[in-house]
Amino acid sequence: MTTMAPTCALPAATETVPQAELIARATAAREALGDRLVILGHHYQKHEVIRFADITGDSFLLARRGAEATGADLVVFLGVYFMAEAADILSQPHQRVVLPDLGAGCHLAECADIFTVNDAWQQVTDQFPDRTIVPLTYMNSGADLKAFVGRNGGAVCTSGNAERAFRWARQQGDMVFFFPDEHLGRNTACRLGLAPDAPVVWDPRRADLGGIAPDALAASDIILWKGFCNVHTGFTVRQIEEARATYPGVTVIVHPECPRPVVEAADEDGSTEDIIRRLDELPTGSAVAIGTDWNLVDRLRINHPDKTVFCLKEDLCPCVTMNRITLPRLTWVLESLAAGEVPNVVTVDDDMAADARLALDRMLAL
């Protein structure tokens, strides 16, 4: 199981301190901690906290880089809980992983809990006792689901290597069961040359075979879990059409967690790292519409003043749980650490971590 150290209450006064003072206090605390601390910042974090990150990146890269910072015994993760879990799974024995707000969850990860997954797995394996079913889970999932996948011969994937993971899984068995993002799964299947409607979708709210007709389930070799990212499903084909009308020649890049029609209407789709790389590659003067979290798009807009960079939906609400990591909370955590207190430690127990590590190692071996 995953355990979290009891959280101390954030002093109310901290929330009302002027930003300049918070920055100064956080900076002083961070300097006092020196090489004992490494701060990992996910791309979707607010500007006010990402400025303190020693390393920025996507969730898996950050977890690996945290473990590689062997001189640090404290790892502060500016992200959400499944990211902190992954960092703890890969961490060195002497390291402790701290999440500034234990309420920073992920809607997508919470679409697949271990109880409904276990039930679905039992139904599918009972339905097809002669088939080898390979489970895959997206990085955006809990440690218990990663461990489940590890125990059952599967692997973890990221949005950047999902195609490779799907190819591997199809070579290993007769059927792939992918959790928890339906849209990433469908877009990946299309990259493999399948029709958009070739995979079947398992709805955990439906008691019998996830609402899939037995014949349809038997005819498909990819099962997708009915889960989604509430940020990336906010993008539409109409937004792309409006961007093209306003900026003729615009390049539209979206994340593969977007629905299939949005990906089809875009020029490109790719992970956060892919999007960042493409912005570096596009020539000066380019207009680029991006379908992903607003905080990242705004940072790219700032970093590329030579280009017209905008979010497909400029009034998009950034990921609410990701944005629970605020400057007051980060300041409180850093000052607590500097004072010798270690709040909000995220710990995955050894057995679960070992199974989850199997799934992560299989991904790395691809």
Residues 313-323: pLDDT tens digits? Answer: 988 877 888 88
User: Residue range 259-271: average pLDDT?
Assistant: 97
- Kindly indicate the confidence band of residue 12, based on its pLDDT and cuts at 50, 70 and 90: very low
User: Residue range 58-77: average pLDDT?
Assistant: 95
User: Residue range 20-47: average pLDDT?
Assistant: 96
- Kindly indicate the confidence band of residue 344, based on its pLDDT and cuts at 50, 70 and 90: very high
d(CA 257, CA 259): 7
Q: Taking 60 as the threshold, does the pLDDT of residue 118 lie above it?
A: yes
User: Residue range 20-36: average pLDDT?
Assistant: 97
Query: What superfamily does domain 232-311 belong to in CATH?
Result: NadA-like (3.40.50.10800)
- Kindly indicate the confidence band of residue 16, based on its pLDDT and cuts at 50, 70 and 90: confident
Q: What is the largest CA-CA distance in the chain?
A: 64
In sequence order, which residues have a C-beta less than 8 Å from that of residue 48 and are 6 or more positions away? 19, 326, 327
Instruction: Say if CB 11 and CB 332 are below 8 A apart.
Output: yes
pLDDT at 334: 98
Residues 210-253: pLDDT tens digits? Answer: 999 999 999 999 999 999 999 999 999 999 999 999 999 999 99
Instruction: Say if CB 52 and CB 64 are below 8 A apart.
Output: no
Strand 55-57 relative to strand 74-78, pairing: unpaired
Nearest to 14 by CA among 6, 25, 5: 25
Of the options 3.40.50.150, 3.40.50.10800, 3.40.50.300, 2.60.40.2300, the CATH number for the domain spanning 109-230: 3.40.50.10800
d(CA 59, CA 109): 13
Of the options 3.10.129.10, 3.20.20.70, 3.40.50.10800, 3.40.50.1110, the CATH number for the domain spanning 2-104+321-348: 3.40.50.10800
Residues 123-168: pLDDT tens digits? Answer: 999 999 999 999 999 999 999 999 999 999 999 999 999 999 999 9
pLDDT at 347: 97
pLDDT at 320: 83
Percent of the chain predicted with pLDDT > 90: 91
- Kindly indicate the confidence band of residue 256, based on its pLDDT and cuts at 50, 70 and 90: very high
Instruction: Say if CB 359 and CB 348 are below 8 A apart.
Output: no
Mean pLDDT (the chain, rounded): 94
Which segments of the chain belong to CATH 3.40.50.10800? 2-104+321-348, 109-230, 232-311
